[in-house]
Amino acid sequence: MRLLLSVWTRLQRPPAPTGARLGSGARGGPLAAGDEALIRGSSPELLRDLGSQVEVKTAFITEEEEAALLGELEPGLRKKRYEFNHWDDAIHGYRETERERWGGACEEVLSRVRSVAFPEGCSLLGPVHVLDLDKTGYIKPHIDSVKFCGSTIAGLSLLSDSIMRLVREDAKNHWLDLLLPRRSLYILRDQARFSFTHEILKDEESVFDGERVPRQRRISVICRNLPD
């Protein structure tokens, strides 16, 4: 089953691929991340307004924790084929799975993710979603379904750095680029989830603040909460 088809509803053609077409980059703003250097936007106002709704936490997991996650995930993923399907699919060059039970080391990582990203007592989607993007794979701009997903998504990036782009659905010149280093955690909340599309750039377009960020195979481990 394609898990993503049940989660994603609105899909758009990719926006202009470079910062130059989207507007000139702006730095700073009171981002909650503590990792402001990892977020660029079309204006300081946008950076300020999105505030705590967008976070990137560098080195959220250690190399050993990444290895533990990969050790649990690789055997199952290896049995699946990457899908390079129709041009209209939301995602290109991927395989995916979901996992409810994890070994001790991984469960420890996931409970850290949950405690950082979600308020206490918040209902979470049981299984954790795992998305394995081939080196040539990418995720097109989309907004997750409000029917199936709550206000927050939190994702760990394994194996590769990547760039996540957010573009305001009704004003495409309002954008943010998030540099997601390998082993970082990103969190998107509220307006950043529902008023902005998000996407993971393909290797050829993977440039952050003028600097090339080579995209390798990337696995994301994604936690979501349930709609209210």
Ligand X SMILES: O=C(O)CCC(=O)C(=O)O
Q: CB nearest ligand X: which residue?
A: 220
Residue 181 near residue 168 (C-beta atoms within 8 A):
no
How far apart are CB 144 and ligand X at their closest, in Å? 5
State which residue, 26 or 77, has the beta carbon closest to ligand X.
77
Q: How far is CA 153 from the centre of its chain?
A: 8
Which residues, other chains included, contact 99 with Cβ-Cβ below 8 Å and sequence gap of 6+? 72, 73, 76, 127, 128, 130
Beta pairing partners, 188: 54, 153
Tokens of 14: 């990719």
Answer yes or no whether residue 144 interacts with ligand X by CB under 6 A.
yes
State which residue, 192 or 222, has the beta carbon closest to ligand X.
222
How far apart are CB 9 and ligand X at their closest, in Å? 11
Answer yes or no whether residue 69 interacts with ligand X by CB under 6 A.
no
Answer yes or no whether residue 155 interacts with ligand X by CB under 6 A.
yes
Answer yes or no whether residue 128 interacts with ligand X by CB under 6 A.
no
Contact pick of 139, 192, 213, 223 for ligand X (by CB under 6 A): 139
Answer yes or no whether residue 140 interacts with ligand X by CB under 6 A.
no
Report how many residues bind ligand X under the rule CB under 6 A.
Answer: 8
Residue written as tokens 């939301």?
90
State which residue, 42 or 220, has the beta carbon closest to ligand X.
220
Answer yes or no whether residue 131 interacts with ligand X by CB under 6 A.
yes
State which residue, 35 or 144, has the beta carbon closest to ligand X.
144
Three-state secondary structure of 158-192: ECCCEEEEEEECCCCCCEEEEEECCCCEEEEECHH
Binding to ligand X (CB under 6 A): which residues in 188-207?
A: 198, 200
In terms of Cα–Cα distance, which of 119, 112, 33 is closest to 68? Answer: 112
* Integer-rounded Cα radius of gyration of the chain: 16
Under the rule (CB under 6 A), what is the footprint of ligand X? 131, 139, 144, 155, 198, 200, 220, 222
